[in-house]
Amino acid sequence: MVDVPGSILLLRKLTDSIYPLPEKDWILFASAWKPCKANRKEIITAPGNIEKFLYFVADGVQRVFYQGEEHEATLVFTYAPSFGGVLDSFLLQQPSKYFYEALTPSTFLRATAQEVQQLMNESQAIQKISARWR
């Protein structure tokens, strides 16, 4: 079960550390996030798929990795409280070259690319936060 109120508080703490949002913008921003979870070793995003979500990690550890014919390379680990996903695929809405995998049971809040884009169109303050993801 995802602790949505606790996760929203963690999200607020993180966003405040990046760029504190005015209350009206925070309410708008917070409304976009929906709970989800992943099991240990679950592939959340696979190569060839477009990353549809920006994740806020509430609990667990994940990794973004590349798997070639002869080798595998982990690019980044994500863990609470941080944003996660295959960010280049998310931002460009192009097929991913990487896997996003839950290494432990994980809980998230997530927002769709369309929702994030709409929020950025509606709020300059949210645009400033999104500039930090790039």
Structure tokens at 131: 């500039």
Q: Do the Cβ atoms of 14 and 82 come closer than 8 Å?
A: yes
Query: What CATH number does the domain containing 20 carry?
Result: 2.60.120.10
pTM for this prediction: 0.92
Of 3-7, 35-39, 77-81, 105-109, give the lowest mean pLDDT range: 3-7
Burial of 17 from C-beta contacts in 10 A (0-12 / 13-18 / 19+)? exposed
For residues 107 and 17, give the distance between their C-alpha atoms in angstroms, rounded to a whole number.
21
For residues 115 and 54, give the distance between their C-alpha atoms in angstroms, rounded to a whole number.
10
Packing angle, helices 4-18 and 23-30, rounded to 10 = 130
What pLDDT is attached to residue 129? 83
Q: Which residues constitute the domain of residue 43?
A: 4-133
Structural domains in the chain (count): 1
Q: What is the pLDDT of residues 87-104, one digit of tens each?
A: 999 999 999 999 999 999
What pLDDT is attached to residue 23? 95
